[in-house]
Amino acid sequence: MSNQHAPPAMLPIPPPAQFDGVFDEDTRGGDTPPDGGYGWVCVAACFTINFFTWGTVSAYGIYLSHYLADDIFPEASTWDYAFIGGLNFAIAMLLAPSITVLCRKLGTHTTMCIGLLLQLSGFLGASFSTRIWQLHISQGVLVGAGIGFLYIPCLPVLSQWFDKKRSLANGISAAGSGAGGTAFAWGTEAIIQRLGISWALRITGIIAFTANTVATVFIRDRNKAIRPSQLGFDTRLLRRYEVLLLLAWVFVSMLGYVVLLFSLSNFALSIGLSRSQATDMIGLLNVGTAVGRPIIGIFSDRWSRMDTAGALTLACGVSCFAFWLPATGYGLTVFFVILCGAIVGVFWMTIGPLCVEVAGIKNLQSLLSLSWAAVIIPATVSEGIALKLRRPGSSREYLYTQIFAGLSYIIASGFMFQLRRVRQQQVQQQHQVQQ
């Protein structure tokens, strides 16, 4: 990727720290990020948190395909099963404002310890569930809450430690969800085949608890130096047009993201692929994620973070039409899955740096809370919509679902490019004032 791919007449936007203006107070309020040092230990810790939180969620597609095929809970509908995966995201994001406040009052480590217990209890509870509502509470609500209490406190940490390498650090960290999704996709299927779903849930919970405990011990924030606002829901930010554009990008792109994350395994079964090949789709999607996110982080730091987010969002939407729509066999589906995996989660690896560019480092956690709120509705309903759009018995069962996912990403890219244009105008106006 290079500057030749940037939209015409658009120049790369420097991060706020590179120019004087309305964001100076935010970017210079704390001491300068060291761009390394102990920050790399925090990168490793955040990578681990992503591995054993979102990585476990990424494997829900494996559980979903078994739930749908094996009729484990006879009273459950397809919406009930889709609802569980959405709850993982929705509950984590719904609790984000409260978690942000708790971080301010209790500290990062204490808040994350709550998450350790919630996630473990969720997986263990799910393993003993006999009714669908019990699965909603355990694998849905409790696991989602645990992920929120672990992920939300650690996400702002890397932006506190890094400036010039901020996107790279966040990209490496975000790759943890891909690496975790890869391991848990194939690992979960193997355990289910040998020991059953219940033991797969128990083993996942115990392993995640152990690894996340180690990561929690080593994570360290710089809140004392930066003194972030850490407001649970700062509505003053909603008065800014660029903030609304960012949140619109979050909302619409998440509609497509959840569909791709959870639907590919069952899509593979719908086109006649085997159970093992369907599992490959989830694993390969996460392989693409693990490899692609650090590379995207490097380009994002060297190019423009907004250009990168907009271009990759658009590319994901176009690839749905160009490669997923005509996919009827293993080969093209694998190609799409790997390509899509590298770019599908552009939100997760860019949202931290983008929030800093839009609102400044002091308002990072407050704007992140608004971003999490924007995720709640699409995360909850998108997979349910995707399953309702299916045409069972048709030769193209997932046709409308594919169109829905592709359009979501294409529309979302429009919001990001508009945000990029607005920020460019702000930079030009500031330069004119200085002259």
Residue 343 has pLDDT above 80, yes or no: yes
Predicted local distance difference test score (pLDDT) of residue 31: 58
pLDDT, mean of residues 87-96: 84
Instruction: Measure the CA–CA gap between 341 and 339, rounded to whole angstroms.
Output: 5
Residue whose C-alpha is closest to residue 94's, from 412, 384, 370: 370
Confidence of residue 253 (pLDDT cuts 50, 70, 90): very high
Predicted local distance difference test score (pLDDT) of residue 232: 57
Predicted local distance difference test score (pLDDT) of residue 19: 32
Percent of the chain with pLDDT over 70: 89
Predicted local distance difference test score (pLDDT) of residue 367: 86
Residue 377 burial by CB count (10 A; 0-12/13-18/19+): exposed, middle or buried?
Answer: middle
To the nearest 10°, report the CA torsion of 19, 25, 29, 35.
-20
Domains and CATH numbers, the chain: 37-227 (1.20.1250.20), 231-434 (1.20.1250.20)
Confidence of residue 303 (pLDDT cuts 50, 70, 90): confident
pLDDT in tens, 275-293: 888 888 888 887 887 787 7
Backbone φ/ψ region at 6: left (φ over 0), alpha (ψ -120 to 50), beta: beta
pTM over 0.75: no
Helices (H), 13-107: 24-27, 39-52, 54-58, 60-70, 78-94, 96-106
Residue 340 has pLDDT above 80, yes or no: yes
